[in-house]
Structure 1
Amino acid sequence: MGNAVDEKLVGMGLRVSVSPAQTAFYIILVMMGILGNATVVGVIGKSVLMDRGGGRNSDIIIINMSLSNLLVSVMRNTLLIISDVGLGLYSSKVWCQFLMGVWVWLRAVNVWSTLFLSAFHLQTLRRVAPAMSNLSGFHGPPKMLLLTLGFIWILNYIYCIPAHIFSTNGDVNSTETLMLVSGTTRPLLGCVWNFPSRSSGLAYATTSMVIHETIPIILMALTNLASLYTLYTHGRMRSSAQDAPMIKRVPAERRAAKVILALIMLFIASWGTSIISVNYFNYNRGSSSEFLLVIARFANIIFITFSPAVLAIGHRRLRSFIKSLLSH
């Protein structure tokens, strides 16, 4: 420890005052998020692997979203817990650059993965008939779906490169002069942003807010409204086209739409609260800034924690797994 020249005591910086009760509640939320999303990935992932048809497209998208939730919890939120309980941690500049880049990357992927689920469901509703891949003996997931998911991860990795480059490790007295919505609500493990100038840092934070917060949330709201309108239109057509394949699926698709709508509303409430709080800190710091950062911290975990429960309500395999688990 003493031989590492560039290592400093971390876990300090701009610390937000939280009570023991708040810390305990946050630990419970993080553990619930890890267990819930791991269950979703495991249960649905097993069904996809065992399905000779390659699994349903929606299941693959749900796995992708839950995997991003799980990685955010493991790579970031568990470290927040370690910092909060007062354990002294050490981190070098190289590790800070790695962690800051990963945090921004995973949070950005998390946003776009959630939007993709909503957009995919809207596209499914607008089909006149069920997907032909499920009817023609198609084996394996469609390449276009996997390419799109891969594109989400790769493009957001490119976006996180500045967060990786312009990060460093601070000392005990380091304070944060800039908060990035997609990355962190406070310095974590002593890692701080170190942009060449405050203006370039604010430009990156503003770009992050627009690309990874504002635009996705607006698109989520629009796609869900379009999904509800499409279901309403199909419902009115049932009396005149009882035998249409898509019309027969309206009740099931309506249930799926309600689940996805609940997910998106939970996401918007969670991220919307975080965006308002963090950007108030960025641009108009005042006496209430510390309180808002506490709010943002809990808002960031709400969606990750409760999205598995929402999915379990509408997913048959998850419901069956939970019922069998509770019965034993």
Structure 2
Amino acid sequence: MVVETVADMEDDGDTELVGMGLRVAVSPVQTAFYMILVLLGILGNAIVIGVIGQSVTSDRGRGRNSDIIIINMAVSNLLVSVVRNALLVISDMGLELYSSKEWCQFFMGVWVWLRSVNVWSTLFLSAFHLQTLRRVAPSMGNLQGRRSPLTSLCLSLGLIWLLNFIYSIPAHIFSTNGNKNRTETLMLVSSTTRPLLGCVWNFPSSYSGLAYATTSMVIHEAFPIFLMAFTNLGSLYMLYNHGRVHSSTTVQNAPVIKRVPAEKRAAKVILALIMLFIISWGTSIISVNYFNYNQGSSAEFLLVIARFANIIFIAMSPGVLAIGHRRLRSFIKSMLAH
């Protein structure tokens, strides 16, 4: 998230101060590549929502809950692409967009909200798969009686959106519209890595802004990554144990064990998704916080890296999902064939 405190700076010729703050120069190749990633994010996640959404409504089978979680993650990806990344592309094409203070407060709040939901929705997918593996373990007995109700799942997803909306309230309170003499001195990961629509953050002091950025980094950015790594290691360990006891399985537990190969395939896809997210999100965290705490000669380069890191997961996750989801894979194959 671009979190900006107001700071007056002189244009020294190396940086261009415009209504959107300090603009890091990007080459036409970088702009084209970013545009391609944004289009992939919009198209890919729209396909995920459409195909899996149709599967959920027509097939009320066992995989419905996991499909709903995937749709939730894809919705957050799509909204981030449309509401934030598409505007960055328009800005890169030379169209300078400006907003009033009220619209800046609205957009900054929405950007923070959607990006935060994106993080925790991805974590929820990993945690749900770990819980699924615990339920299919032979020692857990009757699987059907242990399934989580759909209502509980929807309430959990709703809680993610609600809590992150509360987290985004400071983005509404402290944001304002900037001018050519204002530029960013502080950033968070959860929104844009550059000023957009002329919107900046105006914390009461640099210390309060830095305190909010540090708290956000620890609780909202680093902690989810740790949990994602922990849940995926737990899933892999549980699958390993399932494989060890496979030969000694009783006939009563045989139907459960038959699901283990499918769960292994799902675990590989989810592991690939989470690793992609960790690399993308982690790179952004390192780059943005280098800018916050050590604005050296590499700061502008790292902000460009952070900008692309923020879009990589959104653009590539539909392709990773298609590898492990039968309906998505069939749809893409038929689309490419025609």
TM class by shorter chain equals: over 0.9
Residue 228 of structure 1: how far off its partner (Å): 0.3
Q: How far does the alpha carbon of each residue in 1:207-244 deviate from its partner, in whole angstroms, 9 at most, with x for none? A: 21112211100010011000000000000111000532
The structure showing larger relative contact order (alpha-carbon pairs under 8 Å, at least 6 residues apart) is: 2
Query: Would you say 1:324 and 2:334 are equivalent positions?
Result: yes
Query: Would you say 1:241 and 2:249 are equivalent positions?
Result: yes
Q: Hey, what's the Cα distance between the residues in 2 that align with 1:266 and 1:130?
A: 34
Q: Hey, what's the Cα distance between the residues in 2 that align with 1:293 and 1:11?
A: 19
Q: Hey, what's the Cα distance between the residues in 2 that align with 1:171 and 1:292?
A: 24
Q: Which moved more, 1:305-314 or 1:141-150?
A: 141-150
Match of 1:84 among 77, 81, 92: 92
Match of 2:265 among 248, 255, 266: 255
Gaps of 5+ in 2: 1-16
Q: Hey, what's the Cα distance between the residues in 2 that align with 1:28 and 1:270?
A: 17
Query: Would you say 1:302 and 2:312 are equivalent positions?
Result: yes
Match of 2:45 among 27, 37, 53: 37
Cα pair 2:20 2:98 within 8 Å, conserved: no
Q: How far does the alpha carbon of each residue in 1:165-194 deviate from its partner, in whole angstroms, 9 at most, with x for none? A: 100000123200110111221111110001
The residue identity in structure 1 corresponding to 2:337 is S
Residue 77 of structure 1: how far off its partner (Å): 0.3
Q: Hey, what's the Cα distance between the residues in 1 that align with 2:18 and 2:76?
A: 26
Match of 1:192 among 161, 186, 200: 200
Q: Hey, what's the Cα distance between the residues in 2 that align with 1:130 and 1:47?
A: 26
Residue 153 of structure 2 corresponds to 145
Cα pair 1:34 1:74 within 8 Å, conserved: yes
The residue identity in structure 1 corresponding to 2:133 is L
Cα pair 1:271 1:300 within 8 Å, conserved: yes
Q: Against the structure 1 CA distance between its residues 18 and 130, is the aligned structure 2 distance closer, same or farther, given a 3 Å change threshold? A: farther
Match of 1:174 among 178, 182, 185: 182
The residue identity in structure 1 corresponding to 2:108 is M
Cα pair 1:274 1:296 within 8 Å, conserved: yes
Residue 321 of structure 2 corresponds to 311
Q: How far does the alpha carbon of each residue in 1:16-40 deviate from its partner, in whole angstroms, 9 at most, with x for none? A: 1100000000000000010000100
Q: Hey, what's the Cα distance between the residues in 2 that align with 1:198 and 1:57?
A: 44
Residue 53 of structure 1: how far off its partner (Å): 5.5
Gaps of 5+ in 1: 1-8
Match of 1:132 among 118, 126, 144: 144
Residue 246 of structure 1: how far off its partner (Å): 2.4
Q: How far does the alpha carbon of each residue in 1:94-121 deviate from its partner, in whole angstroms, 9 at most, with x for none? A: 1100000001101110000000000000
Residue 205 of structure 1: how far off its partner (Å): 1.0
Residue 229 of structure 2 corresponds to 221
Cα pair 1:10 1:189 within 8 Å, conserved: no
Which secondary structure does the structure 2 equivalent of 1:295 belong to? helix
Q: Hey, what's the Cα distance between the residues in 2 that align with 1:236 and 1:242?
A: 14
Q: How does 1:58-137 map to 2 (within 5 A)?
A: 58-127=66-135, 128=137, 131-132=143-144
Q: Against the structure 1 CA distance between its residues 50 and 279, is the aligned structure 2 distance closer, same or farther, given a 3 Å change threshold? A: same
Match of 1:292 among 297, 302, 320: 302
Q: Percent identity?
A: 78
Which secondary structure does the structure 2 equivalent of 1:236 belong to? helix
Q: How far does the alpha carbon of each residue in 1:106-142 deviate from its partner, in whole angstroms, 9 at most, with x for none? A: 111000000000000000001135752799xx9xx61
Which 4+ stretches in 1 moved above 4 angstroms? 52-55
Cα pair 2:177 2:198 within 8 Å, conserved: yes
Q: How far does the alpha carbon of each residue in 1:50-91 deviate from its partner, in whole angstroms, 9 at most, with x for none? A: 234596100000000011000000010001011111112231
Cα pair 1:266 1:303 within 8 Å, conserved: yes
The residue identity in structure 2 corresponding to 1:199 is Y
Which secondary structure does the structure 2 equivalent of 1:126 belong to? helix
Q: Hey, what's the Cα distance between the residues in 1 that align with 2:326 and 2:192?
A: 35
Q: Hey, what's the Cα distance between the residues in 1 that align with 2:220 and 2:68?
A: 22
Residue 298 of structure 1: how far off its partner (Å): 0.3
Cα pair 1:167 1:194 within 8 Å, conserved: yes
Residue 12 of structure 1 corresponds to 20
Match of 1:230 among 227, 238, 246: 238
Cα pair 2:133 2:238 within 8 Å, conserved: yes
Q: What is the root-mean-square deviation in Å for CA atoms of aligned residues?
A: 1.9
Q: Hey, what's the Cα distance between the residues in 1 that align with 2:99 and 2:238?
A: 52
The residue identity in structure 2 corresponding to 1:271 is W
Q: Hey, what's the Cα distance between the residues in 1 that align with 2:51 and 2:145?
A: 23
Which secondary structure does the structure 1 equivalent of 2:98 belong to? strand
Which secondary structure does the structure 1 equivalent of 2:50 belong to? helix
- Number of aligned residues: 316
Cα pair 1:30 1:77 within 8 Å, conserved: yes
Q: Hey, what's the Cα distance between the residues in 1 that align with 2:290 and 2:121?
A: 26
The residue identity in structure 2 corresponding to 1:119 is A
Give TM-score scaled by structure 1 length: 0.92
Residue 28 of structure 1 corresponds to 36
